[in-house]
Amino acid sequence: MTKVKITKMQGCGNDFVILPQEELSKVDMPMNEIAKKLCDRHFGIGADGLIIPNNNILNTDIGWFFFNSDGSVAQMCGNGMRCFAKYVYNKRLVNSNKFTVSTLAGIITPEILEDGRVRVNMSNPILEPEKIPFLPNHNLNYKISVKNRIFEGNAISMGNPHFVIFIKDNEDLLNLAKIYGAEIENSAEFPEKTNVEFIKIKSYKKIELCVWERGCGITLACGTGACASVVAGILNGYLENSVDVKLLGGTVNVVWNGTPNKPEGDVFLTGHAEFVFDTEIDI
């Protein structure tokens, strides 16, 4: 076994293990296996995902490797990006409070704000079914049948696929995610599986959200899910352009200036990112 140094961070309760690149070089194990071991909540540190900074990048200031707790690769993670941004800034792996990050979802630009929060330019939402990917030829208000219930949802990608479902105010968000999340994640319509969001609209400027994350299950927060949910709400005429999203673990703000007639423009996600602890562990 090899002892490695790690940092644990969280954003709205969405927690991550960060393994420095120099520590990774000590371990003779595939990164996805490292992720499963470190993220295990019984035999490891416990986290929703593993983040490894990647300094060997030419076209951006820095890059990352991101793995879900089950070892699968995720193209993007909004809460993870906020934690990553604060980590690399405080560790002086970047030279500015605003910088570019290479991800599988493209180039993402986070910025550390004066109040300590992190604002992330999450780039444009992806609405074309073939790019989400989503097999049906229309992605908004699509009806899907699971366990003898029909849900009407919106397939949107923020670099990773989401299925956004608006529900009635008298239903239980967490219970719906527990009952239906896994089956919707694995629905045939999504060839790469999907994240699933159940949402209550509280006003034009506020929603409540519970997410079933692809490769993780129910998590306390999901940044890309918050962004996809606000985009879906704006496209359906339910929301204004700046929305506070209340997740199980806290609240983030999402801004998108797109409209149903002009569904384009970058999405901005703002929220806190906090250090939990530094430690060493044998893997």
- Residues classed as catalytic: 77, 222
Amino acid identity, position 218:
I
Task: Give the contacts of 273 (CB within 8 A, at least 6 positions apart).
Answer: 9, 10, 11, 79, 82, 83, 85, 86, 117, 118
Listed in sequence order, the residues at least 6 apart from 4 whose beta carbon sits closer than 8 Å to its beta carbon are: 19, 23, 24, 26, 27, 280, 281, 282, 283
Cα gap 259→127, rounded to integer Å:
13
As given in the structure block, the two tokens for residue 242 are 């700046």
Tokens found for residue 89: 């800034």
Angle (CA) 60-63-67 rounded to 5° is 155
How far, in Å, CA of 40 to CA of 47, rounded? 7
Residue pair 126/157 in contact (Cβ under 8 Å)? The answer is yes
